[in-house]
């Protein structure tokens, strides 16, 4: 398959498999999504969804969260891992939202990236899923699949994001990044497929005999 053929096949097959793409993290507004995405770093979405109801019971908006002691936030989010850093980030970014943005999550990538605990990927998720702006959040899982499917040779998620944005139509980005995540979890996980097992890998590279070596993100 030529790269253009692989791009078209991936788009069409993922649309067949995942016509609906519900956001995996439970949330009720931009703020709750921002905090949930922050919590999901090195933690499963399922675990985050188990934890956030107790966190929202403490405070479900930046005005209230800014007043909650860091230790209290940390107690609740401990099962998500990295709780010392995440609890400080949640309280501090809540303070900043209150003091600088009238309690609103800014609808701006650069502004989001200045918030504590919010990197480019988290900001991209919020821009895409809370505000509907075209973005292509790339984590290590999407990075891995994009390499297996011959869509990038990027050595990091930054290069992979650029390559995927160049290959796929902008209006597909928000849905596609979720479709790739869903497919990776179900069929092309780190342990379940090495580039020679799942349907998309074997269709894109039917002659591949050896595991695909992945450039680490």
pLDDT score for 165? 98
pLDDT score for 217? 62
The catalytic residue among 60, 139, 155, 216 is 139
**Catalytic site includes residue 29:** no
CA angle 131, 85, 129 (to 5 degrees): 10
The catalytic residue among 121, 163, 209, 216 is 121
Low-confidence ranges of the chain (pLDDT < 50): none
Which residue has tokens 């649309």?
15
Q: At what angle do helices 83-101 and 30-39 cross, to 10 degrees?
A: 160
Burial (Cβ within 10 Å: 0-12, 13-18, ≥19) of residue 87: buried
**Residue 112 to residue 114: CA distance in whole angstroms:** 5
Q: At what angle do helices 30-39 and 120-129 cross, to 10 degrees?
A: 150
CB atoms near residue 84 (< 10 Å)? 12
**Residue 165 to residue 134: CA distance in whole angstroms:** 10
Give residue-wise pLDDT tens across range 154-182.
899 999 999 999 999 999 999 999 999 99
CB atoms near residue 99 (< 10 Å)? 11
**Catalytic site includes residue 139:** yes
């Amino acid at each position: 398959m030529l790269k253009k053929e692989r791009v078209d096949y991936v788009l069409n097959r993922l649309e067949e498999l995942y016509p609906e793409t519900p956001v995996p993290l439970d949330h009720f507004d931009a703020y709750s999504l921002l905090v949930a995405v922050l919590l999901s770093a090195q933690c499963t979405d399922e675990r985050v969804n188990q934890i956030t109801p107790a966190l929202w019971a403490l405070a479900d908006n930046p005005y209230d969260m800014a007043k909650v002691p860091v230790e209290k936030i940390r107690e609740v989010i401990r099962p998500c891992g990295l709780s010392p850093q995440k609890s400080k980030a949640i309280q501090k970014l809540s303070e900043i939202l209150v003091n600088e943005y009238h309690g609103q999550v800014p609808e701006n990538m650069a502004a989001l990236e200045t918030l504590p605990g919010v990197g480019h990927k988290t900001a991209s998720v919020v821009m895409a899923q809370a505000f509907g702006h075209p973005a292509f959040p790339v984590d290590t899982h999407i990075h891995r699949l994009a390499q297996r499917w011959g869509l990038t040779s990027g050595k990091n998620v930054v290069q992979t994001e650029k390559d995927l944005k160049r290959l796929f139509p902008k209006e597909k980005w928000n849905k596609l990044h979720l479709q790739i995540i869903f497919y990776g979890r179900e069929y092309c996980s780190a342990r379940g497929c090495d580039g020679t097992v799942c349907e998309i890998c074997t269709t894109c590279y039917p002659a591949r005999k050896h595991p695909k070596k992945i450039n680490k993100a």
